[in-house]
Structure 1
Amino acid sequence: MQTNLFINGEYVPGSGSETITIHSPSDDSLVTDKVQIATEKDVDAAVAAAKAAFPAWRDTPGSKRAAIMLKFADLLERDAEKLGKLESAAMGQPVSVAKAFVMAAVGVWRYYAGFAGKVAGESFPPEAEYVPFGRQTGDIHPVSVGTYKIVQYEPLGVCAGICAWNGSHVLAAWKMGPAMATGNTFILKSSEKSPLSLAAYGDLINEAGFPPGVINVVSGAGSTGALLANHMQIAKIAFTGSAFAGRAVMAASAKSNLKHVSLELGGKSPALIFDDADLDNALANNSDAFLRNSGQICFAASRVLVQEGIAPQFIKGIKTAFEKAGEKMGDPSLKETAFGPLADKKQFERVMQFLDEGRKEGLEYLTGGSRKGDKGTFVQPTVILNPDKNSKVFTDEIFGPVIVLRTFKTEEEAIEVANNTTYGLGSDIGRALRVAGKIEAGTVGINSAFNTSVQTPFGGFKQSGIGKSTYIPC
């Protein structure tokens, strides 16, 4: 298990004395207490290494950059099970789910390898133009005789990425893949909740053939992320996490060197289920599909809106589905486990606070609403029926295995309730493009739980973020 920082092609201990302690969210046992925290000195060293490596990496032929990226993807695929087990040990993701996340990252790396050397510029033909400055003759405006205009796209330089803990490998790939393809260098910061699998990247980075300094991996909490956001020599930062932390990243970037920023923040996405929906499909996509990763997915549709005609059948079916899901929740290290615990005690306490407050409000719990077992951070899959539209469980992101269900009469009412949120990340709906165009969300799934695609941008409206997570940083 690697716990050091990876800077300039080498594993090195942090320059400070503080470390991160990881306990298993499954049974509270100690996983490690030696994960290094990157200090200002360490971040400066990583930036210096990335800056020094940038000119040569920028000038590396696209075909060679692509070959290295493809080799790295092959290595991720080779070690998918090992990396999945590290992720599972740290934040409780079932190993089967964790391995699937690694394989999704493999696809992202291979996709962006195809962009290396293919980011073209633009040119415009010569034609007579009015120009604002130059010699004037009498009352005749100066006119250029025509020049070719060429637009050249260049890499930004040193980029940084801050990952959330719920999907480390995919988030790292979204941030690093485009940057590598276009000749940028990178500093990646893992989440303090799930640092182990990304810490293992160092050996793979070297084995793939990335020159020293092109990719650096550091660990730490918010204070380390702040060092990256404030750094004067980082040209671009991509952040995935909470809206609160995203605002801090944006403010720090503005106060430092006005670096480019992309933010992928929280969500409280709605699923709209109309009377004409396929009931079995709707139940499957709002139970097992929602509960993957124990509901800890930013675009998971946690507000389920069901038209009155189908509501009794749906409510009966969702109760059964969530109760069965609870039976498939257990030890994340076992391949047969479908649903694991929440990431750590802090996340567990946050979710339980929502559930306790809902109980004080007198909300109706169709299923769950309590802890599962006497060890670890397991929460029973929970369905809350018809909360008030101003209730916190309906308006705020819970980020756990909890859905809130309300009924509606008309399509117009459904759209109004769906849009009544400060978030706008993803949505699951069933009346195709007409309704999809009226939903205030960056991404919309039709007749399915939404899934990201490497071929399309991913990002949200309103307070779900700025920019897209699939980007070409140049």
Structure 2
Amino acid sequence: MSIRAELFINGEYRQSSSSETLTIHSPHDDSLITDLVQVASPKDVDDAVSAAKAAFPSWRDTAGHKRARIMLKFADLLEQHIEMLAHLESIAMGQPISVAKKMILGPIAIWRYYAGFAGKLPGESYPPDEDGTYKIVQYEPLGVCSGICAWNGSHVLAAWKMAPAVAAGNTFVLKSSEKSPLSLAAYGDLLNAAGFPKGVINIITGAGAVGEMLAKHMDIRKIAFTGSAPAGRAVQIAATKSNMKRVTLELGGKSPALIFDDANIENAVFHSAEGFLRNSGQICFASSRVLVQEGIAQEFIRAVKSAFEDARTKMGDPSSGETLFGPLADKKQFERVMGFLADGRAEGVEVLVGGERIGDKGTYVQPTVLLNPGLDSKVYTDEIFGPVISVRTFRDEEEAIALANNTEYGLGSTIYTQDIGRALRVASKIEAGTVGINSAFGTSPQTPFGGFKQSGYGRESGIEGMKNYLQPKTIHVNMMVPPKKV
């Protein structure tokens, strides 16, 4: 299978104007995938933005049903090429092929969902009443928008950013992650085949320096970023210091799972183990702080230990359809996770199961359960972003809520109980943007996604995601002007 490694600007693939390239190694066995991934230079970024700016007036004025038809065709093409796209994602960042396919199905639904909004964005009107002014509110696209993707879910993040933007009539420049650029680089041919006019969507690659160029660019009106909290702060500062562009930030998480003593333990264990470990724990809203009520703690701990031991047997070559759990995305991420585990041991944190490297090649980490880390321990407070959970106990509902909210993050959470009254009561008190009840949280095209506190602000997905790419314009018409005398 050939690999696209070029930039996609103004409807064409092209080499970077600089000589800088990225090298991608397989997280499975360290083998070289490619060393030819093009890194966008300042000139390339300017060219991509200029192409989007030139395409904007025509795309904005394109009839909604025509925009929708193109978006639906693109969704069809994603579906038709799911094997190819999943393979490219898998070889770049180690996602098991079975997981990679599922993480393209969601974006296909997102593109179709937002296609349904194209041309159907109503405005508002208010009668003159006694003031004699007829009032109109219309919602207009922003112009050139941009998105920066994290590496753990390229297709989902790209769809959340691009689909509502182009449905609303904006044009777009997308930067893929330097860790997983291959599948999004393949979009260019599909975008052209779908019928997107040149310049409407441009896709570039590079590390943080390229993202900074986008955040600072004076012709970009909105930027959506998914990644770490420090990088998100840098994007916000650059956006503010440049042209005050709008910013949506989806940052880190250290999400709690609250398991009450009336919960279905088998269900809670499944979602805290296999549900958590999908994508090797590299999911920003996955519940890595597991809080269990004292009455069932021992039973739960025995069961989750067994589940994590069993998960080890399901790890392996991402290209195999039988593999459920793969390696971490790259050596840097592997070293980060192993560093957290080393620090935890140094602090005396008990490792119930796991905590070791698997094999001498690749970036495999054994699924790990930590018991009772201190409330100020880094393994408990910081986002590890790997196959590691921490288990602590609580006495009652009040303590559970206090422990759950004792974090600067607020992205995800889960609650396990058969008492729906308690579930909704606790959900209302959890300081997080998403709550799953009796299940690990799963995203939906219909509902907004985003966090509280230092997990960011703004929302992607759902109607809220669409609103982020529109600006209201108020028009007042004086109805009291007397007719001109003839």
TM superposition score normalised by structure 1: 0.96
Residue from 43, 68, 71 that aligns with 2:70: 68
Residue 79 of structure 1 corresponds to which residue in structure 2? 81
* Separation in structure 2 between the aligned mates of residue 387 and residue 265 of structure 1, nearest angstrom: 24
Residue from 101, 105, 114 that aligns with 2:107: 105
Residue 461 of structure 1 corresponds to which residue in structure 2? 452
* Separation in structure 2 between the aligned mates of residue 247 and residue 362 of structure 1, nearest angstrom: 33
Residue 11 of structure 1 corresponds to which residue in structure 2? 13
Residue 210 of structure 1 corresponds to which residue in structure 2? 196
- 1:267 and 2:253 aligned: yes
- 1:434 and 2:425 aligned: yes
Give 2:4's aligned amino acid.
Q
Residue 194 of structure 1, CA deviation: 0.1
Residue 469 of structure 1, CA deviation: 1.6
Which stretch shows the higher mean deviation, 368-377 or 194-203?
A: 368-377
Give 2:217's aligned amino acid.
H
Residue 367 of structure 1 corresponds to which residue in structure 2? 353
Residue from 355, 370, 386 that aligns with 1:384: 370
Residue 152 of structure 1, CA deviation: 1.0
Structure 1: which 4+ aligned runs deviate by more than 2 Å? none
Residue 236 of structure 1 corresponds to which residue in structure 2? 222
Give 1:441's aligned amino acid.
A
Residue 403 of structure 2 corresponds to which residue in structure 1? 417
Residue from 431, 444, 456 that aligns with 2:435: 444
Give 1:102's aligned amino acid.
I
* Separation in structure 2 between the aligned mates of residue 337 and residue 108 of structure 1, nearest angstrom: 27
Residue 77 of structure 1, CA deviation: 0.4
Identity %: 72
* Separation in structure 2 between the aligned mates of residue 210 and residue 97 of structure 1, nearest angstrom: 29
* Separation in structure 2 between the aligned mates of residue 279 and residue 151 of structure 1, nearest angstrom: 52
Give 2:306's aligned amino acid.
T
Residue 331 of structure 2 corresponds to which residue in structure 1? 345
Residue 362 of structure 1, CA deviation: 1.1
* Separation in structure 2 between the aligned mates of residue 443 and residue 248 of structure 1, nearest angstrom: 25
Residue 127 of structure 1, CA deviation: 1.6
Give 1:55's aligned amino acid.
P
* Separation in structure 2 between the aligned mates of residue 97 and residue 379 of structure 1, nearest angstrom: 18
Structure 2 unmatched ranges of 5 or more: 417-421, 471-486
Give 2:423's aligned amino acid.
A
* Separation in structure 2 between the aligned mates of residue 284 and residue 175 of structure 1, nearest angstrom: 31
Residue 41 of structure 2 corresponds to which residue in structure 1? 39
Residue 332 of structure 1, CA deviation: 0.4
Residue 206 of structure 2 corresponds to which residue in structure 1? 220
Give 2:319's aligned amino acid.
S
* Separation in structure 2 between the aligned mates of residue 198 and residue 279 of structure 1, nearest angstrom: 39
Q: 2:71 is paired with a residue of what secondary structure?
A: helix
* Separation in structure 1 between the aligned mates of residue 46 and residue 121 of structure 2, nearest angstrom: 30
* Separation in structure 2 between the aligned mates of residue 408 and residue 207 of structure 1, nearest angstrom: 55
Give 2:8's aligned amino acid.
F
Residue 92 of structure 1, CA deviation: 0.3
1:23-38 correspondence runs (5 A): 23-38=25-40
Give 1:409's aligned amino acid.
R
- 1:155 and 2:155 aligned: no
* Number of equivalences: 458
Q: 1:86 is paired with a residue of what secondary structure?
A: helix
- 1:188 and 2:179 aligned: no
Q: 1:152 is paired with a residue of what secondary structure?
A: strand
Question: Aligned-pair RMSD on alpha carbons?
Answer: 0.6
Give 1:299's aligned amino acid.
F
Q: 2:312 is paired with a residue of what secondary structure?
A: helix
Q: 1:272 is paired with a residue of what secondary structure?
A: strand
State the Cα deviation string for residues 132-153 of structure 1 (Å, max 9, x = none).
xxxxxxxxxxxx4x11100111
Residue 160 of structure 1, CA deviation: 0.2
Residue 122 of structure 2 corresponds to which residue in structure 1? 120
Give 2:180's aligned amino acid.
S
Q: 2:202 is paired with a residue of what secondary structure?
A: strand
Give 1:216's aligned amino acid.
N
* Separation in structure 2 between the aligned mates of residue 223 and residue 345 of structure 1, nearest angstrom: 20
Residue 474 of structure 2 corresponds to which residue in structure 1? none
State the Cα deviation string for residues 433-460 of structure 1 (Å, max 9, x = none).
1000000001100000011111011000
State the Cα deviation string for residues 234-284 of structure 1 (Å, max 9, x = none).
000000000000000000000000001000000000000000000110010
* Separation in structure 1 between the aligned mates of residue 414 and residue 93 of structure 2, nearest angstrom: 27
1:313-328 correspondence runs (5 A): 313-328=299-314
Structure 1 unmatched ranges of 5 or more: 129-143
Residue 50 of structure 2 corresponds to which residue in structure 1? 48
Q: 1:369 is paired with a residue of what secondary structure?
A: coil
Residue 374 of structure 1, CA deviation: 1.0
Residue 291 of structure 1, CA deviation: 0.2
* Separation in structure 2 between the aligned mates of residue 310 and residue 414 of structure 1, nearest angstrom: 14
Give 1:88's aligned amino acid.
S
- 1:306 and 2:292 aligned: yes
Give 2:460's aligned amino acid.
S
- 1:356 and 2:348 aligned: no
Q: 1:17 is paired with a residue of what secondary structure?
A: coil
Which stretch shows the higher mean deviation, 463-472 or 269-278?
A: 463-472
Residue 138 of structure 1 corresponds to which residue in structure 2? none
* Separation in structure 2 between the aligned mates of residue 38 and residue 469 of structure 1, nearest angstrom: 26
